Amino acid sequence: MTHQEVMTMLAEMNLPYAYDHFVEGESPDPPFLAFLYPGSNHFAADGKVYFKVNRLNIELYTDKKDVELEETVEAVLDRHGIFYVKSEVWIESENLYEVLYQMEV
């Protein structure tokens, strides 16, 4: 999946999003998304990158638990045939929930 395809997929989630973070003072009210490519898991052959695989993290931030919104995000991932792992944490200093979707694209 190319970066442009990732951007198109994120747009289908109908939430504000930014790469890694929003500029200080320009963060929208929750809910919103942040995404980044924290690494890669390329497939090698003959000492070269044969097939590129990038890790992708999509972070959903909400000020309250929102199962329906999570289901909406997951439906978009499912439509694109993406296998993901999901985790959740409460960020006390920000008063936000972070639902993290980790995948490879």
pLDDT digits (tens, 9 = 90+) for 60-82: 999 999 999 999 999 999 999 99
Residue 25: its pLDDT value, please?
87
* Contact predicate 89/54, CB 8 Å: no
Strand, coil or helix: what is 87? strand
CA distance readout (Å), 6 to 29, 64, 83: 23, 26, 14
Strand, coil or helix: what is 2? coil
Q: What is the mean pLDDT of residues 14-31?
A: 94
Residue 27: its pLDDT value, please?
87
Concatenating the DSSP letter of every residue in 49-81 gives: EEE--EEEEEEEEESS--HHHHHHHHHHHHHTT
Total structural domains within the chain: 1
Q: What is the mean pLDDT of residues 90-103?
A: 97
CATH number of the domain enclosing 47: 3.30.2000.30
Q: What is the mean pLDDT of residues 41-53?
A: 92
Q: Whole domain around residue 66: which residue ranges?
A: 3-104
Mean per-residue pLDDT of the chain: 96
Instruction: Give pTM, 2 decimals.
Output: 0.93
